[in-house]
Chain A
Amino acid sequence: MMDRRSFLKATAASGAVLGAGGVAAPALSQGAARTLRFVPQANLANFDPIWGTQYVVRNAAAMVWDTLYGVDDKLDPQPQMVEGETVSQDGLTWTFRLREGLRFHDGEPVLAKDVVASITRWMPRDPMGQMVRAIQQELVAVDDRSFRWVLRRPYPKLKYALGKTNTPICFIMPERIARTDPFTQITDYVGSGPLSFVRNEWVPGAKAVFQKFDRYVPRQGAASWLAGGKHVSVDRVEWVVMPDAATAAAALQNGEVDWWENPISDLIPLMRRNRNIAVDIADPLGNIGSFRMNHLHAPFNSQKVRQAILMAMSQEDYMRALVGNEDALWKPLPGFFTPGTPAYTEAGGDILKGPRNLDAAKRMLTEGGYSGQPVTCIVAQDQPITKAQGDVTADLLRRLGMNVDFVATDWGTTGQRRAMKNPPGQGGWSMFHTWHAGADCVNPAAYNAVRANGDGAWFGWPNIPSVEAGVTEWFDAPNPDAEKIAMDKINREAIEHVVYAPTGFFLGYTAWRRNVSGIQKGPLPFFWGVTKS
């Protein structure tokens, strides 16, 4: 339906065109239909998916660079740029062959040497890549379309590593770009994917434009997440950065944008009332809320004190603070892995279930040696998710009789302070809040937050050998049953020793104009298969 302003504009444009002797008025609406205007979750401040591993960079990069494999909505890696692979009987030598006709956006063919350089740059930045690099004997191009990867011991999850959605994704870039140090930002954005990046229209903080790459050769078949035929139906995708949620909602209602990646739940009722707008769950894998305790310093260097917190915390309180009264948007999570995925487990999760017991938790605090020392609780106020969780935690700790030193700050400062290992009174911290994309938590492959390898672990530095043993067993697991056993072990040990405190599982929405169709639910916005009428 044409709105008043569009009608006025179209009338004026028609008049102008007729006056000039032209007949291009229909082209105006056709042009609009060929451009998809999208409001991303955040500003695209840089465009190197290996150097900067923020989700927004990954989401944009997935349009511009293709991958060797891509996971589908069943979380299975499917061939994408590769035609196929052969694996030696001992599982040590993998030989891959690229599909025919693959081209970069500068018209050059994608060659095996480009792939080798891209993998080499990706490995040091990715947890799975680092594991493969540690057992790698050789990675070489055999000919223009084939490359060989020789390992010192089998790594059954290799295809998953090359096709996963977790950041950083192993994107394939031209060799000259991929030779850049992985800790230095690239400046050339020639891609291999279905859309190219229009660099001269990029205004960081405001706009990023992607254009259909006509020479891209999609696979046969339907697209499913990063797998299948990536057929792009629009000519341009324009990312319009909007820092204000109310403005984004108004722009979507007004038809100034077509798709809003992550509307806040407060505005959902408003959009549901608009018959031109569709609203649905964005990603069935959702998010896991968390707060991490510092295992290096008192009081949370005591396992009993950490357990006391788990015993007292109510995940419902956290989730209601995040999503309000929409029960469909959250689930309790007595564990660390994403609900609804094949390896989901609640093993050992009893402490997080049932009525909360503050008295028992208080006794446990005393047994754990807590004697009133300040708990430095870092809460980023500029992130709604961390702020809401932080407020609930502060209240919980006070009810437990703990001495809370509530540090209200911003995310940038949290990022710096959480890396400090000093005692809390000397610039360090006791706890901070964050959340993890459910797609990152389906298994231990790229799930840094559940690792417990001391200095090598994520912030909080838990050192729990039994958790690490479970992780090793999962990587070595020859089949899904063995994987499940390993996951149960990780979950049980991680809860017993409280690697971190899961605050619950929550989902988010996405919203789009009804003249847009083909939007897939998934961990990132997929632009292939999306059409606009």
Chain B
Amino acid sequence: MFAYTVRRVLATIPVMAIVALFVFSLLYLAPGDPAAVIAGDQATPQDVERIRASLGLDRPYLVRFGEWAFRIIQGDLGVSIFTNLPVTTMIAQRIEPTLSLMVITLCLAVCIAIPMGVIAAWKQGTIIDRAVMGFAVLGFSVPVFVVGYVLAYVFALELDWLPVQGYTPFARGFWPWLENLILPAIALGGVYIALIARITRATMLEVLQQDYIRTARAKGVGQKGVLFLHALKNAAVPIVTVIGIGIALLIGGAVVTESVFAIPGLGRLTVDAILRRDYPVIQGVVLLFSFVYVLVNLVIDLAYTLFDPRIRY
């Protein structure tokens, strides 16, 4: 498995290279001009042209790509056109809120969705099953920002239990950190809970029909043992796959959630950078997201071996 892991890690290099080429080319071809944004609305065309030249945006594609690629190889993501700060610094400033939001959301979703799916499968056809599936449909249907506004209205404005917005770093204490993340995590987790609960239910229903479940019951294993030791473990592979896919959903959902709850994370950094055409930041963040996605896939693949001993790499 070690050799497999090394091979997969090395395989990320060409993937990242292709992503880098794609991102750079796409941004080069995309309309928009950071110089016009910098110059402001009162600037003359001559001012805009001069700023463009000072940023090196008037140089040929190959020259710009060559310089950028050379820096990337050295681990240098460049400097933001607007803030003049290194892209790595900007990512470092923003990674903690996004990571925190994703971890809390993931924990919340897994802790709620898997028992929900298991219970729905166990109580198939009952009102409990229908309630779980109804919640799942709702979770898929209601946009994250609507859930966010409703939560903020109820729990922050009306009840005054939690803050409306913002982020407090973990270093300033566990509760201040957590209280800012509860509402965003619930808002963002809705879709994710729905997705995992549905998959868990469907997979569990399939597994519960298997002969070995009947055998386990015949041996006198209790209901909890059947559900959680025998059935859930065998249903785990598709569930883990969905959790992995869901991390990509989380990255997308974080953009909206961070805006609604004013969390200074990577999602907002990305949107701001795109709107301003801050090319180095967009390139850096997309590369980071691609790397995380490739890494998550690797972790998921390796996790399969824990649940299914027949899988060997």
Return chain A residues, CB-CB under 8 Å to B162.
5
Query: Is A498 in the interface zone, CB < 8 Å from B?
Result: no
> A166–B41 Cα gap in the complex (Å)?
11
Query: Is A382 in the interface zone, CB < 8 Å from B?
Result: yes
Min Cβ gap A161→B in Å is 14
Please determine whether B90 and A204 come into contact, CB atoms closer than 8 angstroms.
Answer: yes
Return chain B residues, CB-CB under 8 Å to A434.
41
Query: Is A409 in the interface zone, CB < 8 Å from B?
Result: yes
Please determine whether A411 and B43 come into contact, CB atoms closer than 8 angstroms.
Answer: no
Please determine whether A241 and B37 come into contact, CB atoms closer than 8 angstroms.
Answer: no
Query: Is A45 in the interface zone, CB < 8 Å from B?
Result: yes
Return chain A residues, CB-CB under 8 Å to B83.
45-46, 204
Return chain A residues, CB-CB under 8 Å to B50.
183
A419-B45 in contact given A204-B90, A247-B262 (Cβ < 8 Å): yes
Please determine whether A458 and B262 come into contact, CB atoms closer than 8 angstroms.
Answer: no
Query: Is A415 in the interface zone, CB < 8 Å from B?
Result: yes
> A419–B46 Cα gap in the complex (Å)?
10
Return chain A residues, CB-CB under 8 Å to B54.
181, 183-184
Return chain B residues, CB-CB under 8 Å to A440.
42
Min Cβ gap B263→A in Å is 8
> A3–B53 Cα gap in the complex (Å)?
53
Number of A-B contacts (CB under 8 A): 155
Nearest residue, chain B, Cβ from A45: B82
Query: Is A54 in the interface zone, CB < 8 Å from B?
Result: yes
Query: Is A246 in the interface zone, CB < 8 Å from B?
Result: yes
Return chain B residues, CB-CB under 8 Å to A446.
42
Please determine whether A412 and B166 come into contact, CB atoms closer than 8 angstroms.
Answer: no
Query: Is A254 in the interface zone, CB < 8 Å from B?
Result: yes
Min Cβ gap A521→B in Å is 22
Query: Is A167 in the interface zone, CB < 8 Å from B?
Result: yes
Min Cβ gap B145→A in Å is 8
As a 0/1 sequence over residues 181 to 223 of chain B, the CB contacts with chain A under 8 angstroms (1 = contact) are 0000000000000000000000000000000000000000000
Return chain A residues, CB-CB under 8 Å to B45.
419, 459
Return chain A residues, CB-CB under 8 Å to B277.
412
Q: Which of B46, B47, B152 is A250 in contact with, Cβ under 8 Å? A: B152
Q: Which of A53, A204, A250 is B165 in contact with, Cβ under 8 Å? A: A250
Query: Is B264 in the interface zone, CB < 8 Å from A?
Result: yes
Return chain A residues, CB-CB under 8 Å to B34.
412
A251-B44 in contact given A3-B160, A410-B32, A417-B31 (Cβ < 8 Å): no
A246-B31 in contact given A205-B272, A446-B42 (Cβ < 8 Å): no
Contact residues, A449-497 vs B (CB, 8 A): 449, 456, 458-459
Query: Is A256 in the interface zone, CB < 8 Å from B?
Result: yes
Min Cβ gap B65→A in Å is 20
Please determine whether B31 and A45 come into contact, CB atoms closer than 8 angstroms.
Answer: no
Please determine whether A256 and B165 come into contact, CB atoms closer than 8 angstroms.
Answer: yes
Query: Is A265 in the interface zone, CB < 8 Å from B?
Result: no
Return chain B residues, CB-CB under 8 Å to A415.
32-33, 36-37, 48
As a 0/1 sequence over residues 244 to 257 of chain A, the CB contacts with chain B under 8 angstroms (1 = contact) are 10111011011010
Please determine whether A53 and B42 come into contact, CB atoms closer than 8 angstroms.
Answer: yes
Return chain A residues, CB-CB under 8 Å to B93.
203, 206
Query: Is A157 in the interface zone, CB < 8 Å from B?
Result: no
Return chain B residues, CB-CB under 8 Å to A4.
159-161
A45-B272 in contact given A5-B160, A53-B43, A415-B33 (Cβ < 8 Å): yes
Nearest residue, chain B, Cβ from A411: B275
Please determine whether A253 and B261 come into contact, CB atoms closer than 8 angstroms.
Answer: no
Please determine whether B160 and A242 come into contact, CB atoms closer than 8 angstroms.
Answer: no
Please determine whether A251 and B164 come into contact, CB atoms closer than 8 angstroms.
Answer: yes
Query: Is A70 in the interface zone, CB < 8 Å from B?
Result: no
Min Cβ gap B37→A in Å is 6
Return chain B residues, CB-CB under 8 Å to A412.
31-34, 36-37, 275-277
Please determine whether A206 and B160 come into contact, CB atoms closer than 8 angstroms.
Answer: no
Min Cβ gap B296→A in Å is 25
Please determine whether A43 and B272 come into contact, CB atoms closer than 8 angstroms.
Answer: yes
Return chain B residues, CB-CB under 8 Å to A456.
44, 46
> A204–B166 Cα gap in the complex (Å)?
14
Query: Is B143 in the interface zone, CB < 8 Å from A?
Result: no
- Name A's B-contacting residues (CB within 8 A): 3-5, 43, 45-46, 51-55, 125, 127, 166-167, 181, 183-185, 187, 203-207, 240-244, 246-248, 250-251, 253-254, 256, 382, 409-413, 415-419, 434, 436, 440, 446, 448-449, 456, 458-459
Given contacts A51-B38, A183-B47, 15 further A-B contacts (CB under 8 A): A5-B163, A53-B42, A205-B269, A206-B264, A251-B164, A251-B166, A256-B163, A382-B275, A412-B32, A412-B34, A416-B33, A417-B31, A419-B49, A440-B42, A456-B44
Q: Offer 15 A-B interface pairs, CB within 8 angstroms, sorted by A.
A: A3-B160, A45-B278, A52-B40, A52-B82, A54-B40, A204-B80, A242-B262, A247-B259, A247-B261, A248-B262, A250-B152, A254-B156, A254-B163, A418-B36, A436-B41
- Return the 8 tightest CB-CB contacts between A and B, nearest first: A206-B264, A415-B36, A416-B33, A53-B40, A412-B32, A4-B160, A45-B82, A413-B31
